[in-house]
């Protein structure tokens, strides 16, 4: 038998080097990054963040405003819920169940009170969005064409803080779910009955506000952005699936979880794997689907993740069953 020893030698050395390096790197922990989360507070009810590092949370009837300067403001006896921050973090929106309030983040004072406001609302740097069960027929209310509105139906309204004009944007039925995302400047209107959704751009310089709508097949209820990629939560059979918009088409990403439990970094969406016995792994989902875990979270750890908000490109606040945690990825 004619054996080419030179080829076998090269192959053997190559294989041995690869396997030994693989084992060594694994042993030395060089293939994973170990990080420890920091407990910010226990008994946190809600958390929200803006696009430029301002975040807010409620804990034991106190509102904590974490400004991007590093300063923390505490407002005592704060019993409102449904927290939301505007794009720059200038305004905070919250509700007491009957009325909605717009609060200045710098002074912590209520700058606008909206009576008969149902469900959630969104603060914007230019105004605020709110639902109202009964139509507002006041002269300041205009419809999508700038005409006075006399509708008696449930509508989503936008009030411009500069001129105090309120526009009725769209009729909302009981099977609809509306969400607004400031990273993408998009509004999602999902219809459970029609098993379809509409994704629209937001332009607050115009009374119509909503423009350039894209029809989506499926119930899309939330949206997140990583670099130039738009990720969606699609609801099917009571489960939430992660997907991305790829040239107007929906591409499934291989994960079923609430998008609130995810966030984005380095161009990909990430979720925390809480199933491993002694660690919380970090899974990233990019355009090609699932990637292997690369970050392990060690030491005192969070579990039962409810929401992940971004403070900056590498720092995140994780609201979990056992408190609010800060994680630097």
Partner 1 sequence: MILEKLRNNPRLTIQLFAVAIVLLVFSTVLNSNKNNSGTDTFSGQKNITLKVPKAVPDSLIISTSPIFDLTYSVDGELLTIKPISLLKHQSEYVINVKYRDANGQDLEASTGFLYEESGKVADLLESNSIHGSVFDFSAENRYTFLAYVTIPDTNEEDVRKEAEDILRSYGIDPNSVELKIEYSRSARGDGVEDPFSPVL
* Residues lying near partner 1 in the complex (CB under 8 A): 5-6, 8-13, 15-16, 19-20, 22-23, 236-239, 241, 250-252, 254-258, 261, 271-278, 283, 289-290, 298-301, 303-304, 322
Is the separation of the CB atoms in 318 and 272 below 8 Å?
A: yes
CB of residue 259 to partner 1, shortest distance in Å: 11
* Pick 15 or 110: Cβ nearer partner 1: 15
Integer Cα distance of 191 and 209 in angstroms: 20
Q: Which residue number, 63 or 305, has a Cβ lying nearer to partner 1?
A: 305
Q: Which is nearer to partner 1, 82 or 293 (CB)?
A: 293
CB of 236 to partner 1, least distance (A): 5
What is the rounded distance in angstroms from the CA atom of residue 318 to the CA atom of residue 158? 30
Closer residue to partner 1 (CB): 104 or 239 = 239
Q: How far apart are CA 94 and CA 47, in angstroms?
A: 12
CB distance 38 to 299 below 8 Å: no
Nearer to partner 1, 57 or 325 (CB): 325
Tokens encoding 165: 């004009």
Side-chain-side CA neighbours of residue 49 (13 Å): 18
The C-alpha angle 43, 68, 53, rounded to 5 degrees, equals 75
Backbone φ and ψ for 313, nearest 5 degrees, come out as: -60, -25
What's the rounded Cα separation, in Å, for the pair 59 and 324? 10
How far is the C-alpha of 172 from the C-alpha of 32, rounded, in Å?
Answer: 47
Q: How far apart are alpha carbons 11 and 74 in whole angstroms?
A: 65
Q: Dihedral, CA atoms, 279, 321, 40, 59, nearest 10 degrees?
A: 180
Beta pairing partners, 49 = 55
CB of 78 to partner 1, least distance (A): 26
Shortest spacing between CB 279 and partner 1, in angstroms? 8
In whole angstroms, the minimum distance from the beta carbon of 231 to partner 1 comes to 14
CA distance 91 to 175: 29
Judged by beta carbon, residue 153 or residue 246, the one nearer partner 1 is 246
C-beta of 290: minimal distance to partner 1 in Å? 6
CB 118 within 8 A of CB 131: yes
| Comparison of 15 and 214: residue with beta carbon closer to partner 1 | 15
Query: Which residue's CB is nearer to partner 1, number 131 or number 192?
Result: 192
**Does the CA dihedral 75-80-83-86 come out positive or negative?**
negative
Based on CB atoms, which residue is closest to partner 1, 187 or 324?
324
Min dist. Cβ of residue 63 to partner 1 (A): 25
Minimum distance of partner 1 from residue 157's CB (angstroms): 34
| Closest distance of CB 251 from partner 1, Å | 7
The residue count of the chain comes to 329
Token couple for 234 = 């699609």
Closest CA to 162 of 129, 127, 136, 197: 127
């Amino acid at each position: 038998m004619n054996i080419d020893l030179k080829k076998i030698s090269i192959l053997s050395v190559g294989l041995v080097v690869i396997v030994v390096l693989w084992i060594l790197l694994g042993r030395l922990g060089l293939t994973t990054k170990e990080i420890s989360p920091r407990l910010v507070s226990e008994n946190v009810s809600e958390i929200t963040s803006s696009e430029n590092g301002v975040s807010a949370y409620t804990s034991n009837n106190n509102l904590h405003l974490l400004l991007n300067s590093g300063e923390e403001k505490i407002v005592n006896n704060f019993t409102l819920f449904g927290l939301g921050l505007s794009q720059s973090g200038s305004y905070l929106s919250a509700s007491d169940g009957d009325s909605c309030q717009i609060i200045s983040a710098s002074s912590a004072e209520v700058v606008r009170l909206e009576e008969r406001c149902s469900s959630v609302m969104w603060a914007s740097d230019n105004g605020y969005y709110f639902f109202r069960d009964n139509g507002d027929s006041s002269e300041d209310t205009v419809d999508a064409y700038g005409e006075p509105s006399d509708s008696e139906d449930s509508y989503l309204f936008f009030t411009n803080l500069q001129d105090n004009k309120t526009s009725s944007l769209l009729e909302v039925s009981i099977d609809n779910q509306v969400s607004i995302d400031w990273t993408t400047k998009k509004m999602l209107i999902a219809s459970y009955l029609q098993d379809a959704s509409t994704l629209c751009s937001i332009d607050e310089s115009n009374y119509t506000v909503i423009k350039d709508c894209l029809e989506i097949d499926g119930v899309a209820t939330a949206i997140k952005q990583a670099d130039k990629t738009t990720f969606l939560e699609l609801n099917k059979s009571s489960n939430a699936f992660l997907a991305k918009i790829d040239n107007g088409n929906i591409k499934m990403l291989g994960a079923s979880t609430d998008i609130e439990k995810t966030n984005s970094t380095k161009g990909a969406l990430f979720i925390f794997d809480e199933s491993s016995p002694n660690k919380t792994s970090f899974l990233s989902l990019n355009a090609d689907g699932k990637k292997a875990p690369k970050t392990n979270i060690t030491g005192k750890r969070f579990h039962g993740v409810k929401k992940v908000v971004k403070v900056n490109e590498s720092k995140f606040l994780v609201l979990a069953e056992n408190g609010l945690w800060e994680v630097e990825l």
